[in-house]
């Protein structure tokens, strides 16, 4: 299986880490991890992947527990969909995470 890892800079304090494993251009495993620098410390804020044998997301402002996702999209379509979703919504996810940290 071919592996590819890279990081997309959303802002100087917001990054999207992408890990892909594929065969013949078809994604078999993937992880999309949005992380943010808050007060000088990096935190995982949101993640979607299919490791552990099932498609799931983790909203770290709620819980680190994986929440299963149901879809009829191919994994290639899932990755494309969630890269776009994270890119559009990361400011909101960041805000939710900061609000959760304030309550701790």
The pLDDT tens digits along the chain (104 residues) read 899 999 999 999 999 999 999 999 899 999 999 999 999 999 999 999 998 889 999 999 999 999 999 999 999 999 999 999 999 999 999 999 999 988 88
User: What's the CA gap between 62 and 82, in Å, rounded?
Assistant: 19
Please state the pTM of the whole predicted model.
Answer: 0.93
């Amino acid at each position: 299986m071919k592996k590819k890892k890279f990081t997309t800079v959303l802002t100087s304090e917001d990054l999207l880490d992408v890990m892909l494993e594929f065969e013949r251009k078809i994604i078999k495993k993937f992880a999309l991890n949005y992380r943010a620098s808050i007060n000088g410390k990096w935190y995982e804020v949101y993640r979607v992947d299919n490791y552990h044998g099932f498609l799931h997301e983790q909203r770290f402002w709620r819980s680190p527990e994986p929440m299963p996702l149901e879809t009829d999209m191919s994994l290639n379509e899932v990755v494309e969909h969630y890269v776009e979703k994270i890119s559009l919504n990361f400011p909101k996810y960041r805000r939710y995470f900061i609000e959760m940290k304030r309550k701790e």
